[in-house]
Chains A and B, each alone.
Chain A
Amino acid sequence: MSVVTLTINDKLVSAQAGQSLLSAIKDQGIDIPTLCCLEGLTDWGGCRLCMVEVVGSPRLVASCVTPVAEGMVIQTESQRLTAYRKMIVELLLSERNHICASCVMNGGCELQSVAAKLGVDHVRYDYLCPDLPMDASHERNVMDPNRCILCTRCVRVCDQVEGAHTLDVMGRGIQQRVIAGLNQAWGTSRSCTKCGKCVQVCPTGALFKKGATAAEMEKQHDFLIWILDGREKKIWRWS
Chain B
Amino acid sequence: MTTTASNKVRLATAWFGGCAGCHMSLLDLDERLIDVVGLVDIVYSPVADIKVFPEGVDVTLVEGACCNDENVHLAHEVRERSKIVIAFGDCAVTGNVPSMRNRLDRDQMINSVYFEGPGKPPPTSVLGHFLPTLIPKVLPLHQVIPVDIFLPGCPPDPERIWAAIVALLKGEPVLLPEEMRSFG
Contact = CB atoms under 8 A, between A and B. Distances in A.
Contacts of B184: 100-101, 103, 106-107, 109, 112, 215
B103 A97 contact: yes
A123 interface: yes
B86 to A, nearest CB: 11
Contacts, number: 70
A99 B103 contact: no
Nearest to A129: B102
Interface of A: 93, 97-103, 106-107, 109, 112-113, 115-117, 119, 121-123, 126-127, 129-131, 215
Q: For chain B, which range describes its interface: under 10, 10 to 19, 20 to 34, or 35 or more residues?
A: 20 to 34
A215 B140 CA distance: 23
B43 interface: no
By CB atoms of chain B within 10 A, which of A93, A106, A116, A119 has the most?
A: A116
Given A102-B97, A129-B102, A116 B181 contact: yes
Contact of A99 (B100, B104, B176, B182): B100
B17 interface: no
A119 B181 contact: yes
A100 B90 contact: yes
Interface in B50-106: 87, 90, 93-97, 99-100, 102-104
A117 B183 contact: no
A5 B97 CA distance: 51
Interface of B is mostly: mixed
B181 A99 contact: no
Given A107-B184, A112-B184, A122-B87, A127 B179 contact: no
B97 A121 contact: no
B159 to A, nearest CB: 15
Contacts of B87: 122
A117 B178 CA distance: 6
A133 to B, nearest CB: 11
Nearest to A105: B184
A102 B183 CA distance: 11
B178 A116 contact: yes
Contacts of B44: none
Interface of B: 87, 90, 93-97, 99-100, 102-104, 137, 140, 142-143, 147, 150, 152, 154, 176, 178-179, 181-184
B100 A101 contact: no
Contacts of B96: 99, 101
B139 to A, nearest CB: 9
Given A99-B94, A121-B150, A121-B152, A116 B182 contact: yes
A101 B90 contact: yes
Given A101-B184, A122-B94, 6 more contacts: A100-B154, A100-B182, A106-B184, A116-B179, A127-B94, A127-B95
A119 to B, nearest CB: 7
**Top 5 closest pairs, chain A to chain B, by CB:** A100-B184, A101-B154, A116-B182, A129-B102, A121-B150
A122 B97 contact: no
Contacts of A101: 90, 96-97, 154, 183-184
A122 B99 contact: no
A131 B108 CA distance: 15
B66 to A, nearest CB: 13
B100 A121 contact: no
14 contacts: A93-B94, A101-B90, A107-B184, A116-B179, A117-B178, A119-B178, A121-B93, A121-B181, A122-B150, A127-B94, A127-B95, A127-B99, A127-B102, A129-B137
B142 A130 contact: no
Given A100-B184, A112-B183, A122 B102 contact: no
By CB atoms of chain A within 10 A, which of B96, B152, B182, B183 has the most?
A: B183
By CB atoms of chain A within 10 A, which of B87, B94, B97, B147 has the most?
A: B94
Nearest to B179: A116
Contacts of A112: 182-184
